[in-house]
């Protein structure tokens, strides 16, 4: 796990593979690689055919400009279990008279055409193979796998793009000021998640928000984007009024069964006062350092999306140097260890009161996460996790 803004999800893309036999046209190989294909070119004739014993390829190019015994090579390819139905693009020498055999999935191209034409023919045959794979009544396993790979690749690219968009919703950096410190941990369950946070400092006022959209994945990420859009057009400064206006904007747009819980706060350095309101969000915690006691900050108000007209209570907290305010999503308190025990709010309180005497916001966050990870006993999380630590100075 990492703290703060996480890096982009690394996507493994399954590229279509093209085996070239009988020739060494480096320009063709280079162009195919630039088009995103995996090019296999081990050698001439039988040497390259050994690849077919080791893996499945999506298309085979026979380049007769250097390989003259094309008929023997063709029958050898078709005799291999993995290449009986693999499409073949045959680059024929000008002197050759080779006919296309559609039923045997072979297309003949004259060697005097441009490199671009050859590449486009290869791309077309790869696409046609995926269409064949979509017909499960006539397709073989390799063709179906090729189609599934193509669908999976598109899905992974879409998820990567959604993750990149979601990353842009998060602040590039946390506000800094002599009167407070901030530290955030954010870890979505999937490539994209339903949790979201924001923090900004403008006009001598800190504003922060921690949100949790129902569900996970792309739909939750989209609703998270809607939440930020709603926040950006609301100009109310008080957290309770801000939530009320956001609710008016979002409730008509949210699909049935979808809602967003939020903890919304602001801090004024001049008075050391923290204002907080909650829309169905788990209670936040405040550690008052002078007495070393933790207080739950509960807000009244339904999550965004329940009712068109929502009202929210405002909590006003006088902070002193060393006091800690902790906002989080239920992925923390509802996480379970191998014995099925939930981490719980009580456990989180106990960890807070056992902090070292002096600390920074990042040290508090690290201390909490160390305890959280020990409790999990390496059990896999089932929800997004977000935690925001505020320390008054």
Q: Which residue has the higher pLDDT, 6 or 299?
A: 299
Annotate 187-212 with DSSP letters as a single string: E-SSSS-SEEEEEEEETTEEEEEEEE
**What pLDDT is attached to residue 286?**
98
Question: pLDDT tens digits, residue range 88-137?
Answer: 888 887 656 555 554 567 888 888 888 888 888 888 888 787 666 544 44
Q: Give all domains of the chain, ordered by start, each with its CATH number.
A: 17-157 (3.40.50.2300), 170-392 (3.60.40.10)
Annotate 298-331 with DSSP letters as a single string: ----PPBTS-SS-----EEEE--TT-EEEEE-HH
Is 60 exceeded by the pLDDT of residue 259? yes
SS3 content of the chain, % helix, strand, coil (to 5): 35, 25, 40
Please answer whether residues 285 and 297 qualify as being in contact, where contact means their C-beta atoms are separated by less than 8 angstroms. yes
**What pLDDT is attached to residue 102?**
47
Residues 121, 87: Cα–Cα separation, whole Å = 11
- pLDDT-derived band at 268 (thresholds 50, 70, 90) equals very high
Instruction: Name the 3-class secondary structure at 1.
Output: coil
Please answer whether residues 389 and 364 qualify as being in contact, where contact means their C-beta atoms are separated by less than 8 angstroms. yes
Looking only at the bridges linking them, the beta strands covering 88-92 and 59-63 are parallel
Question: pLDDT tens digits, residue range 333-366?
Answer: 999 999 999 999 999 999 999 999 899 999 999 9
With residue 233 as reference, give the H or E element that holds it: helix 217-233
Q: Which residue has the higher pLDDT, 191 or 39?
A: 39
Integer CA distances (angstroms), 9 to 122, 170, 218, in order = 31, 15, 14
**What pLDDT is attached to residue 125?**
84
In this predicted structure, which of 252-266, 313-327, 364-378 has the lowest mean pLDDT? 252-266
- Give the range with max mean pLDDT: 50-59, 108-117, 153-162, 234-243: 234-243
Is 50 exceeded by the pLDDT of residue 138? no
Please answer whether residues 160 and 11 qualify as being in contact, where contact means their C-beta atoms are separated by less than 8 angstroms. yes
Integer CA distances (angstroms), 245 to 230, 258, 311, in order = 8, 18, 9
Residues 131, 36: Cα–Cα separation, whole Å = 19
Neighbours of 7 (CB within 10 A): 8
Q: Among residues of the chain, what percentage have pLDDT more than 90? A: 40
Length of the chain: 393
- pLDDT-derived band at 199 (thresholds 50, 70, 90) equals very high
For the chain, what is the mean pLDDT? Answer: 82
What's the whole-number mean pLDDT along residues 156-164? 68
Question: pLDDT tens digits, residue range 40-61?
Answer: 875 554 556 677 777 778 888 8
- pLDDT-derived band at 67 (thresholds 50, 70, 90) equals low
| Radius of gyration in angstroms for the set of CA atoms belonging to the chain, rounded to a whole number | 30
């Amino acid at each position: 796990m990492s703290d703060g803004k996480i890096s982009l999800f690394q996507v493994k893309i399954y590229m279509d593979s093209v085996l070239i036999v009988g020739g060494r046209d480096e320009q063709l190989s280079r162009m195919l690689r630039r088009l995103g294909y995996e090019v296999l070119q081990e050698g001439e004739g039988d040497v390259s055919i050994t690849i077919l014993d080791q893996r499945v390829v999506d298309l085979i190019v026979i380049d007769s400009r250097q390989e003259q015994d094309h008929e023997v090579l063709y029958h050898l390819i078709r005799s291999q279990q993995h290449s009986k139905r693999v499409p073949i693009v045959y680059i024929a020498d000008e002197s050759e008279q080779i006919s296309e055999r559609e039923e045997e999935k072979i297309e003949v191209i004259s060697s005097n055409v441009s490199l671009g034409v050859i590449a486009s023919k290869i791309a077309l045959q790869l696409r046609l193979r995926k269409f064949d794979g979509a017909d499960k009544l006539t397709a073989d396993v390799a063709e179906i796998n090729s189609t599934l790979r193509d669908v999976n690749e598109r899905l992974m690219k879409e998820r990567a793009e959604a993750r990149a968009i979601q990353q842009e919703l998060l602040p590039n950096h946390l506000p800094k000021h002599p009167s407070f410190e901030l530290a955030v941990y954010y870890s979505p369950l999937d490539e994209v998640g339903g949790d979201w946070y924001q923090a900004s400092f403008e006009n001598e006022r800190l504003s922060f928000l921690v949100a949790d959209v129902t569900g996970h994945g792309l739909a939750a990420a989209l609703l998270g984007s809607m939440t930020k859009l709603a926040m950006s057009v609301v100009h109310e400064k008080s957290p309770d009024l801000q939530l009320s206006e956001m609710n008016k904007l979002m409730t008509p747009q949210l699909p049935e069964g979808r809602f967003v819980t939020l903890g919304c706060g602001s801090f004024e350095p001049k008075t050391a006062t923290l204002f907080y309101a909650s829309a169905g969000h788990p209670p936040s915690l405040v550690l008052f350092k002078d007495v070393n006691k933790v207080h739950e900050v509960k807000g009244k108000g339904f999550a965004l999306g329940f009712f068109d007209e929502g009202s929210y209570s405002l909590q006003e907290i006088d902070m002193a140097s060393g006091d800690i305010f902790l906002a989080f999503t239920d992925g923390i308190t509802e996480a379970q260890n191998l014995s099925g025990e939930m981490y719980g709010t009580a456990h989180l309180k106990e960890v807070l009161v056992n902090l070292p005497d002096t600390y920074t916001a990042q040290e508090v966050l690290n201390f909490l996460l160390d305890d959280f990870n020990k409790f999990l006993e390496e059990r896999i999380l089932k929800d997004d996790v977000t935690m925001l630590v505020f320390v008054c100075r």
